[in-house]
Amino acid sequence: MYNLLLKEMRLSASILSYLFILFGLMFLLPGYPILCGAFFASLGLFHSFQTTRETNDIVFSALLPIAKRNVVKGKYLFVCMIEICTLLLMLLTVCLRMTLFLQSSVYRNNTLMNANFFALGTACVIFGLFNYIFVRGFFKTTYKLAKPFITFIIACFVTILAAETAHHIPGLKWVNAFGTEQITSQLIMLATGILIYLLLTLVSYRKACNSFEKIDL
């Protein structure tokens, strides 16, 4: 498993996949839809899949003395690594905004979503959608990128719009809580987001393996 991940990191990955992890810091931006950081991190991963297609990396990987299922596993390991790194950076910014910057006026007067555990859970959902829609879609053909990525973009921004709208709905103001306000509810929403991420990723991985097994390279 380690060798599969190493191969993806050194041979297949686009440098943009690493650089776009820094978009996790968008959680520090006031007056901006912070969940776009998850989209940009996904865009970085898209560039790695584009590199994979242009360099015939899938054919190279399939010629290695490994099962075809492991080719899919290598891609998923890399994708999940980038996503987790981005989420950890987001978690750091959430902790800063919930503690050090708690009383900052630029955040207190922010009309858009605050960086809290609900936002972090929603970022997990966006990454889960990327894995289910785009990565699974890629392994249906291993060369068609546009359709699954456009579908993901639509799903991503619908999710962002719903999350940004939520705290304006009567009774849901708590999703935009500051600091440790509503901390129990916030943690439940984070746990729900993580669970959705895991389920979408596992289901998409199995479906991607089944699709890739049927492809005649």
Over residues 18-30, the pLDDT tens digits come to 999 999 999 999 8
CA end-to-end span of the chain: 23
Largest CA distance in the chain: 59
- 159 contacts 122 by C-beta, under 8 angstroms: yes
Read off the amino acid at residue 36.
C
Domain count, the chain: 1
Between 131 and 174, name the one with better pLDDT.
131
Alpha carbons 64 and 99: distance in angstroms, whole number: 49
Is 70 exceeded by the pLDDT of residue 34?
Answer: yes
**Burial class for 78, CB neighbours closer than 10 Å (0-12, 13-18, 19+):** buried
Residues 127 and 87: beta-carbon distance below 8 Å: yes
- What are the start-end ranges of the H helices in 99-182? 105-108, 117-129, 136-138, 146-166
Q: Helix, strand or coil for residue 16?
A: helix
**C-alpha pair distances (Å), 128 with each of 56, 83, 84, 201:** 26, 9, 11, 6
Domain that includes residue 122, residue range: 2-214
pLDDT of residue 109: 83
What is the 8-class DSSP label of residue 106? H
At 217 the pLDDT is 63
For 74, the token pair is: 């290598």
How much is the average pLDDT of 61-90?
A: 92
Range 68-87 average pLDDT: 95
What is the model's pTM?
0.95
Local confidence band at 99 (pLDDT 50, 70, 90 cut-offs): confident
Q: What's the pLDDT score for residue 11?
A: 84
Distances (CA, A) of 143 to 1, 14, 210: 24, 16, 16
The owner of tokens 């490994």 is 66
